[in-house]
Chain A
Amino acid sequence: MLDDAELMQRTAAGDGEAFRVLVERHGTAVHSFFLRLVRNVDDAEDLTQELFLALFRSAGRYRPDAPFTAYLYRIASNMAASHMRRRSARRTQSLDELAEAGFESATARHEDHPERTFEEREMRRRYENALARLPGDWRIALELRVGRELSYGEIAAAMGKSVSAVESILVRARERVAAEMGDVGRRE
């Protein structure tokens, strides 16, 4: 199986099938990344399309000296940050609304334990509200780490920050989320 860097090089050389494989391989992750950050199905689809168009156009400029995921999420993070700045006033959708639009939560499928489902829903609602109050780049860092499982080094490359800055953002984001959820008090 070809790795992502090889697929990008083939795409640059005109191999359309290579780009199809990239879209199939990363489409779900990228779409989920945008959906969790912008919380609007239409916007997430638009951003996903824009991202792959940008990736296709930049295939000739890609150099495989950095991990492909860092390259991919650098573009995606810039797009998401720009979108969040532009549309900060626009109404976003809660995870429950997203579920109705097809973003069904796996945690809501515990039919054997309805009380657990309620607790999980409540926990998710509080978590969602806490996340929504974080600065955009903190949310991006959390999503890259927890949702996309990028290493600190990859997140640093994707966000154009140092590893220590990423580490600091993650700690502060977690502290703020814990305080917002009422689990621990604010404290420095």
Chain B
Amino acid sequence: MDCRTCRILISREIDGEAAGADRAGFDRHLGSCAYCASFRDSARRANAVHRAIPERAPSPRLVASILAATVERREIPRTRWWLRIAVPAAAAAVFVLGFWVGSLMHERYGGESASTLAGGAAGLELEYLDEYPPGSFGDILAASYEGGME
């Protein structure tokens, strides 16, 4: 066995990896090569020094910072995602309800209100109040309402 192969096997041995089949050749080489024997001792010592360096936990501040930038940030958009659905839905519901109530009130009080307003406005020469301007939204609504009544 040559020194190169021996040093590879020493490194594997230190790391607990499979050393290979030629164990007898490895031992013979170590017994006869002072360089490889001293390399083995040195590498073992260095390994022990490296392993003795203690682990250091990240500070609680760092962990909190990591979680704030990841998990907690995603939890906020989740809430907003629901808000993005709920707020327009609530607004639409209010609009539909308002339209429905308005229709009912128009059905019940619309004619009286129009004539009352028209009567009151006659002195002010505001005749257009007794009807909606042609093509306006109110005019279309009134036409559809009257059509529905027929």
Q: Which residues of A contact B (CB under 8 A)?
A: 14, 16, 19-20, 23-24, 27-32, 35-36, 45, 48-49, 52-53, 56, 95, 102-107, 120, 123-124, 127, 130, 142, 145-147, 151-152, 167-168, 170-171, 174-175, 177-178, 181, 183-185, 187
Chain A residue at minimal CB-CB distance from B71: A16
If the complex has contacts A45-B59, A171-B7, are A123 and B49 also in contact, measured as CB distance less than 8 A? yes
Partner of B70, one of A52, A167, A178: A52
Interface residue B42 (Cβ < 8 Å from any Cβ of A)? yes
Q: Is the interface of A mostly helix, strand, loop or mixed?
A: helix
If the complex has contacts A27-B58, A48-B58, are A53 and B75 also in contact, measured as CB distance less than 8 A? no
Q: Which residues of B contact A (CB under 8 A)?
A: 3, 7-8, 10-12, 14-15, 17, 35, 38-39, 41-43, 45-47, 49-59, 62-63, 65-67, 69-72, 74-75, 78
Contact at B54–A106, with CB atoms within 8 Å? yes
A169 vs B12: C-alpha distance in the bound complex, in angstroms? 12
Contact at A105–B54, with CB atoms within 8 Å? yes
Contact at A23–B67, with CB atoms within 8 Å? yes
Count A-B pairs with CB separation below 8 Å: 126
Contact at A171–B11, with CB atoms within 8 Å? yes
Contact at B56–A49, with CB atoms within 8 Å? no
Q: Shortest CB–CB separation between residue B47 and chain A, in angstroms? A: 6
If the complex has contacts A48-B58, A152-B17, are A146 and B71 also in contact, measured as CB distance less than 8 A? no
Contact at B17–A106, with CB atoms within 8 Å? no
Partner of B39, one of A120, A142, A184: A184
If the complex has contacts A16-B74, A177-B46, are A52 and B66 also in contact, measured as CB distance less than 8 A? yes
Contacts of B69 in A (CB 8 A): 49, 53
Q: Shortest CB–CB separation between residue B145 and chain A, in angstroms? A: 49
Contact at A20–B71, with CB atoms within 8 Å? yes
